[in-house]
């Protein structure tokens, strides 16, 4: 019997408008307004983090769609007004406003939504389940995928993993960081954020570490799970180089 086809692997960075990337990642004379077009020609995905801090205009999402290649994908961080609250179950109105803000203008380039909890937020099964119930499976006929990023050790429990799995929400794998690294696969896709780039390495990571992350990504994809992997934080100036090195490795 023929083997299962490998699922897509999307690799990129968080955001694209960082001063430290100019003349390092971006050509020196490149106008800032062309940075997304350039970044999307070198990477296969970007996690938009500006949506965490505030709403964007529908025309902005439409422009991002137009400026990127056909097979490019954006992940979006859900608004902090939904996740940085004592009772997650009360986030319904914020979640509805987020999906009415124009995010669907990304059309087929809309990837998963990363709902990032604060480091002080502890695991409360009932409240988290109520939050998951607020997350739409589809909006205006377009399927919506969700991921949850946790930063408190109380989430390192089988109850959390079972809850995420029951709702089909991916647990963000926080690699090379001080946060819990929960590698359980709880959704049809994998969402990883790796945060260990170093300034003294041209590619941000040693080759052996890049090889290891590439192997993990390929193994997830071989299982039929679409992969979203972002090089975040760490020594930010090196993140694009690390992401491009990973893309080379998974395409071998």
Helix axes 125-134, 158-167, angle to 10 degrees: 20
Distances in whole angstroms, Cα of residue 140 to Cα of each of 64, 99, 114:
20, 10, 20
d(CA 76, CA 96): 15
| pLDDT tens by residue, the chain, 252 residues | 345 679 999 999 999 999 999 999 999 999 999 999 999 999 999 999 999 999 999 999 999 999 999 999 999 999 999 999 999 999 999 999 999 999 999 999 999 999 999 999 999 999 999 999 999 999 999 999 999 999 999 999 999 999 999 999 999 999 999 999 999 999 999 999 999 999 999 999 999 999 999 999 999 999 999 999 999 999 999 999 999 999 999 997
Evaluate whether the domain defined by 9-250 bears CATH number 3.40.50.980: no
Sheet holding 189-194, edge to edge: 170-171, 146-149, 110-116, 73-77, 45-48, 9-14, 226-231, 189-194, 173-175
Residues 43 and 108: their CA atoms lie apart, in Å, by 17
């Amino acid at each position: 019997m023929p083997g299962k086809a490998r699922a897509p692997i999307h690799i990129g960075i968080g955001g694209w408008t960082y001063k430290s990337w100019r003349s390092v990642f971006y050509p020196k004379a490149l106008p800032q307004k062309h940075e997304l077009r350039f970044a999307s020609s070198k990477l296969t995905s970007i996690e938009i983090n500006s949506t965490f801090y505030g709403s964007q205009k529908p025309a902005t999402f439409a422009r991002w769609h137009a400026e990127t290649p056909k097979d490019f994908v954006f992940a979006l961080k859900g608004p902090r007004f939904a996740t940085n609250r004592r009772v997650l179950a009360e986030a319904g109105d914020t979640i509805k406003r987020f999906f009415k803000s124009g995010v669907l203008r990304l059309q087929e380039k809309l990837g998963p939504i990363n709902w990032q909890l604060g480091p002080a937020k502890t695991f409360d099964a009932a409240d988290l389940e109520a939050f998951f119930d607020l997350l739409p499976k589809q909006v205006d006929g377009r399927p919506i995928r969700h991921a949850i990023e946790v930063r408190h050790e109380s989430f390192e429990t089988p109850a959390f993993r079972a809850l995420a799995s029951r709702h089909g929400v991916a647990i963000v794998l926080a690699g090379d960081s001080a946060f819990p690294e929960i590698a359980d696969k709880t959704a049809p896709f994998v969402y990883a954020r790796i945060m260990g780039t170093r300034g003294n390495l041209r590619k941000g990571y040693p080759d052996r570490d890049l090889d290891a992350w590439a192997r993990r990504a390929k193994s997830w994809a071989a299982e039929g799970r679409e992969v979203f992997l972002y090089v975040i934080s760490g020594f930010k100036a090196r993140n694009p180089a690390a992401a491009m090195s990973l893309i080379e490795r998974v395409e071998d």
